[in-house]
Amino acid sequence: MAVRFAFVALLASLVWACARAPAAPPRKIDVHTHFGPDSVAHMIELMDRYGIDQVWNLSGGFPGGGLEEQLDAARRHPGRIVVFALLDWRKARTGPGYGERMAADLPRAKALGARGLKIPKGLGLGYSDYRGQVIAVDDPELDPIFRTAGELGMPVAIHVGDPVAFFQPATPENERWDELQVHPAWSFHGGGFPSWEELFAQLERRIARHPKTTFISVHFGNAAEYPDRVAALLDKYPNLVVDTAARIPELGRHDAAKLRAIFLAHADRILFGTDLGVGTAPDDLMLGSTGATPPTPADVDRFFAATWRFFETQDRGFTHPTPIQGRWTIDGINLPRDALVKIYGTNAERVLGAP
């Protein structure tokens, strides 16, 4: 009897201890990073230091154009790196039917091991066709690419346009003036570029045309300045998800309660991403953007600490992850654990189709 009593008491104490023990941190998958094969060791070191379980490398290249090397490097760290393929946009200058020719690379890319497709912002702003014309995001010539991606189950991470400020005059009055001084080529004001609104409309038409293709509209739907508009698109298009890469500085400016409500209403459709770029040297990093000088270790610590603080606390008025993206502070949105688990990891697993 005494032994039985002792066992029951021990069991009760273990149950009590487990109830009081803090929950394990949610699995974190960063769906938006950039690095080359020679930088994998650096990326893994950063992942281990800051608690990132898996990253998606959106700079994977195309078959015969770097994809094989990226996949080989990723395989040295099973389960840690997912590679997205790119397209060979030079084929657009080879004559009509280039969309079909570009789409033909996707089955090969998937067979090699690529899990998705990345479309950079050059579409709509810079990539030209055989006539010398800039290719619109919704150009019907590209339909075979997006249709094939859907048939192959390859989600399409698509970057269209850029921050609204980059389409405004690049003067000291521009709120992103610090960044535009360092990167003058990032200004799309004048010069024959489409307007921000036109690019956003092209993106919506592209998403609407391919309901069987999963779109990851990066940088919070490519419209972090307008979270209500992004929420409306999520409501309208079930094939759409968004990531948070490089837009916490912008998102954190909005009314925290309203933004939190949007995150909770769409907690199944938002993916965690940073836009972290990693080179081989310790300070060869892009922390959502790059400044005039390389980032310090303190900058890297702040980048991650401010990111978690935005998602997980209700702190007010703290420095955002990438100060060059604007001289303002942000507020946290204090998401509950169930939403964090989805946004940090399980949504990404679902979109990819496998853990």
Average pLDDT over residues 332-336: 98
154: containing domain: 29-352
Give me the sign of the Cα torsion angle 312, 313, 314, 317: negative
pLDDT interval class at 3 (50, 70, 90): very low
- Domain for residue 4, yes or no? no
pLDDT interval class at 24 (50, 70, 90): confident
Average pLDDT over residues 298-305: 98
Within the chain, residue ranges assigned H as helices are: 2-20, 40-50, 67-75, 98-103, 105-112, 143-152, 177-182, 196-209, 218-222, 227-236, 248-251, 256-265, 297-312, 337-341, 347-352
Cα angle value 292/190/157 (rounded, 5°): 65
pLDDT interval class at 354 (50, 70, 90): low
Q: What is the pLDDT at residue 125?
A: 98
- Domain for residue 266, yes or no? yes
pLDDT interval class at 25 (50, 70, 90): confident
Mean pLDDT of the residues in the chain? 94
Q: Is 353 a residue whose pLDDT tops 50?
A: yes
Q: Is 141 a residue whose pLDDT tops 60?
A: yes
Higher pLDDT, 305 or 17: 305
**Amino acid identity at 338:** D
CATH of the domain at 211: 3.20.20.140
Of 212, 276, 237, nearest to 56 (Cα)? 276
- Domain for residue 3, yes or no? no
- Domain for residue 120, yes or no? yes
- Domain for residue 306, yes or no? yes
Of 247, 238, 251, 244, nearest to 270 (Cα)? 244
- Which residues, 6+ apart, have CB-to-CB distance to 33 below 8 Å? 43, 55, 56, 57, 58, 273, 274, 275, 276, 277, 278
pLDDT interval class at 18 (50, 70, 90): very low
pLDDT in tens, 97-122: 999 999 999 999 999 999 999 999 99
- Domain for residue 184, yes or no? yes
Beta-carbon neighbour count of residue 63 at 10 Å?
18
- Domain for residue 7, yes or no? no
Q: What total of structural domains would you count in the chain?
A: 1
- Domain for residue 54, yes or no? yes
Q: CB of 302 within 8 A of CB of 319?
A: yes
